[in-house]
Amino acid sequence: MSIQTVKTTPFSDQKPGTSGLRKKVRVFQQPHYAENFVQSVFDSLEGFAGQTLVVGGDGRYLNREVIQIVLKMAAANGFDRVLVGQGGILSTPAASHLIRLNSAFGGLILSASHNPGGPDEDFGIKYNVGNGGPAPEKVTDAIHARTLTIDSYRILDAADVDIDSIGTRQLGDMVVEIVDPVAAYAELMEQLFDFSAIRAMIAGGFTLAFDSMSAVTGPYAVEVFEKRLGAPAGTVMNGTPLPDFGHHHPDPNLVHARELYDRMMAPEAPDFGAASDGDGDRNLIIGRHCYVTPSDSLAVLAANAHLAPGYRQGLKGIARSMPTSGAADRVAEKLGIPLYETPTGWKFFGNLLDAGMATICGEESAGTGSDHVREKDGVWAVLLWLNILAARRTSVVAIMADHWATYGRNYYARHDYEAIATNNADALMAALRDSLTSLPGATNSGGTITAADDFAYTDPTDQSVSRNQGVRVLFDDGSRVVFRLSGTGTEGATLRVYIERYVGTDGDLAMETSDALAPLVAAAQELADIAGYTGMDRPSVIT
Ligand code: G1P
Ligand code: ZN
């Protein structure tokens, strides 16, 4: 086995987005493409010689091939040991946990999260640092800079490693350990939650359905919900990870998790339904006849977390991304703890969690998590809900009604306009930004505008500043419309419009969300001329 130095030339399109580098599989299949990016990651890091790397992915098409490349390159670049999930499988939160548990230097997670998989679909590589979380911007910026100058990469000339049987094997001077992808993660969940109370609730007739969407959470969900908590076989739907996710779009929202939604709205619905995404970090929560928005879910989890053993001491703070609704803010206020508003993307939560400033974090995009790892965590969110239901002995509908009666309700929706020509999307955002100073005081269908800005964030732990994180328009009744472009898409641009209206405890808490938000939807059109710039008269997806 010899180390080869392979000459290469840069690719101009390897800038990591909201969550790592995501491209079409065919882009990743170009000669040297994956290798260039992996070498650029290694070249941007210092001090990993003799250290451990964690590698795994969500099982999507190309996962196994890229794992072999990573292993041979890690060996050629001087890592001492690589931990790989059996079969190349690791959910994103499980990878984060393994990094922390083993004091690894970092990890490479192979996933395009909720994007579809298959030969014509998406693939991705994300680097996570030693705290288990996504690399912060200064690291991803360094990686990107390196991709633009790279002229060679190092790779071991060796046969493929058997990643399907658990055990330790040698690759050059490096040790490869194939580990059970689920065991350590399931142990962590048992430490955080009252499994015996949940088990008793299920034994007493409580029913649930968990849709793994043919993605990575299948083995995790079967182990936790069926084996450890005693839910009957079949509780986990679509539980086998498939390279193309069985042609599902593994995004747990009301459009792509329709099968689960319909089941939860049927007369004989289970008590509780949930779904996760491609790599297991997102969650969708639907009670019997009751959809819970991710923003509300964050607020409910924060308000009730003390009912779970792992959070009995209370929360240090709550963090949410800027476009996420303000429902959690009211909980933080009542608990007397700080609320942090960060840009979109989990990487911004890491510093707050490391500093012990926040315990629970969440995003409107179905991401919720805590300081147990440094990623959002779908199965964790479901377990916290189950723990709360077991402790309060009531239904999801009743919990939501009680929550709104206590805090008021943040009606909320996100409208996505997908596959817009990039220049049109950029022009729309530029026009919006140009209009910002003239907006305060103006009136439109949403009411009178009190403030408008382009969100900028100063990280309170290291004072780093992130600008241009989304245009916010605030109205005098506390309503809000936010516009930003997606940083995870692989085709054209996606415009996300986030719409929120707060109704206090004395207001109408039982409206249809679309009715409650209709004036603000009209205001969004007036502010950004979405139809004019996109040629679309309605969003591609409403969540
Ligand atoms: C989307 C979500 C964001 C999430 C990210 C990764 O990013 O909006 O909240 O952190 O996926 O799962 P976007 O496409 O909006 O940049
Ligand atoms: Zn994901």
Active site residues: 113
- Inform me whether the pLDDT recorded for 241 exceeds 90: yes
- Inform me whether the pLDDT recorded for 47 exceeds 90: yes
226: confidence class by pLDDT, cuts 50, 70, 90: very high
Nearest CA to ligand 1 atom 4: 345
- Inform me whether the pLDDT recorded for 191 exceeds 90: yes
- Inform me whether the pLDDT recorded for 248 exceeds 90: no
Q: What is the mean pLDDT of residues 165-170?
A: 98
- Inform me whether the pLDDT recorded for 101 exceeds 90: yes
Output the pLDDT for position 254.
87
Ligand 1 centroid distance, CA of 346 (Å) = 8
- Inform me whether the pLDDT recorded for 324 exceeds 90: yes
Pair 225, 235: CB distance under 8 Å:
yes
Ligand 1 centroid distance, CA of 132 (Å) = 18
Nearest CA to ligand 1 atom 13: 486
- List, for residues 420-445, the tens digit of each pLDDT value: 999 999 999 999 999 999 999 999 99
Q: Identify the structural domains of the chain with CATH numbers, from first to last.
A: 2-181 (3.40.120.10), 185-407 (3.40.120.10), 409-542 (3.30.310.50)
Look at phi and psi of residue 69 and say left if phi exceeds 0, alpha if psi is from -120 to 50, else beta. Answer: alpha
- Inform me whether the pLDDT recorded for 19 exceeds 90: no
Pair 288, 263: CB distance under 8 Å:
no
For 352-385, give the DSSP string: HHHTTS-SEEEETTTEEEETTSSS--HHHHHHHH
- Inform me whether the pLDDT recorded for 489 exceeds 90: no
**Mutate-to-test residue for ligand 1 from 15, 22, 469, 488, highest number of ligand atoms within 8 A of CB:** 488
Q: What is the mean pLDDT of the chain?
A: 97
Ligand 2 centroid distance, CA of 136 (Å) = 17
Distances, alpha carbon 341 to alpha carbons 329, 366, 465, 469, 484, in Å: 9, 16, 13, 12, 16
- Residue 363 alpha carbon, nearest atom of ligand 1: 9
- Report the alpha-carbon distance of residue 306 to residue 334 in Å, rounded: 14
Q: What share of the chain in percent tops pLDDT 70?
A: 100
Ligand 1 binding pocket, CB closer than 6 Å: 18-19, 113, 321, 344-346, 363, 365, 367, 486-488, 496
Output the pLDDT for position 162.
98
Output the pLDDT for position 63.
98
